[in-house]
A = this chain, B = another copy of it.
Amino acid sequence: MSVSHSTYVTRRIPASTIRRLSHYLRSLEDLDDAGGETVSSEELAIRGQTTAAQVRKDLSHFGSFGKRGLGYKVDELRRRLRQILGVDRKWKVALIGAGRIGSALFEYPAFESRGYECVAIVDADPQKIGTRWSNLEIQSPDQLESLLKGLGVELVILAVPARAAQEMAERAVKAGIKGILNFAPIRLKVPAHVPVEDVNLVMQLEALSFAITQRGSAE
């Protein structure tokens, strides 16, 4: 079909594809090109730990922005990937939970540099409320809904103990936030239109110990 594609697409894209798109974007950001440079699917594949065919298939879901016989223009592909992943703009983020994980994230350099701007920090600990992390004052969750709504927060990073996570998530959803990065080791119950990404370190450790244990016993 020769319909002019946009970077938006209705078809369902598998999570694995999205992870790979992130990788492609990451490799393009490494090589800062003068202007007209190009990359082939082959080169992208090597950096992204896949095959050239996979790269082409991944990109083809969103249009056809390569030149046959040449490859992809680096700067254009980068722009397109940013558009596709939705990182061609700033996202206002609130950090809920100012413990160790919260602090680690807040200081995480990639965080700010990729367009995620932390505009509020919330914690229930009275000791912490009122103290500052760089130029942000830690606030009580009492008025969470109006706080988030007032600032126009779209993403929430949930880094609170498991027992508090569900309530905070629900209140954030009520405040109209659009997505949650969840560090609490529970399955949040939120409306289907609010995507949740779970960061589950125990699970990843178990994947490791599984791989080690099984390998040792095989063959």
A residues sitting closer than 8 Å to B (CB atoms) are 8-10, 13, 15, 18-19, 21-23, 25-26, 47, 49, 84-87, 91, 99-101, 103-105, 107-108, 110-111, 114, 116, 154-155, 178-181, 185, 187, 193, 195, 197, 199-215, 217-219
Q: What are the residues of chain B within 8 A of A201 when measuring CB–CB? A: 105, 108, 110-111, 181, 199
In the complex, what distance in Å separates the CA atom of A187 from the CA atom of B103?
Answer: 25
In the complex, what distance in Å separates the CA atom of A149 from the CA atom of B202?
Answer: 24
In the complex, what distance in Å separates the CA atom of A91 from the CA atom of B213?
Answer: 11
B181 touches A219 (CB 8 A): no
Interface of A is mostly: helix
The minimal Cβ–Cβ distance linking A159 to chain B, given in whole angstroms, is 9
Please indicate which of the listed interface residues A21, A99, A105, A210 has the most CB atoms of chain B within 10 Å of its own CB: A210
Known A-B contacts A86-B210, A103-B104; the reply to A22 vs B203 at CB < 8 A is: yes
The minimal Cβ–Cβ distance linking A63 to chain B, given in whole angstroms, is 14
Q: Which of B85, B103, B154 contacts A210 (CB 8 A)?
A: B85
The minimal Cβ–Cβ distance linking A175 to chain B, given in whole angstroms, is 15
Q: Which of B10, B19, B101 contacts A207 (CB 8 A)?
A: B19
Q: What are the residues of chain B within 8 A of A199 when measuring CB–CB? A: 199, 201, 204
A179 touches B209 (CB 8 A): yes
In the complex, what distance in Å separates the CA atom of A208 from the CA atom of B191?
Answer: 15
Known A-B contacts A103-B104, A199-B199, A201-B108; the reply to A206 vs B87 at CB < 8 A is: yes
Q: What are the residues of chain B within 8 A of A99 when measuring CB–CB? A: 104
Q: What are the residues of chain B within 8 A of A180 when measuring CB–CB? A: 208
Known A-B contacts A10-B218, A114-B205; the reply to A18 vs B210 at CB < 8 A is: yes
A155 touches B208 (CB 8 A): yes
The minimal Cβ–Cβ distance linking A45 to chain B, given in whole angstroms, is 13
A85 touches B154 (CB 8 A): no
In the complex, what distance in Å separates the CA atom of A28 from the CA atom of B165?
Answer: 20
Q: List 18 other contacts, CB 8 Å, given A87-B206, A199-B204.
A: A8-B214, A9-B214, A10-B218, A18-B210, A22-B202, A22-B206, A22-B207, A85-B210, A91-B205, A100-B100, A100-B108, A103-B104, A114-B202, A155-B205, A179-B209, A179-B212, A195-B211, A195-B215
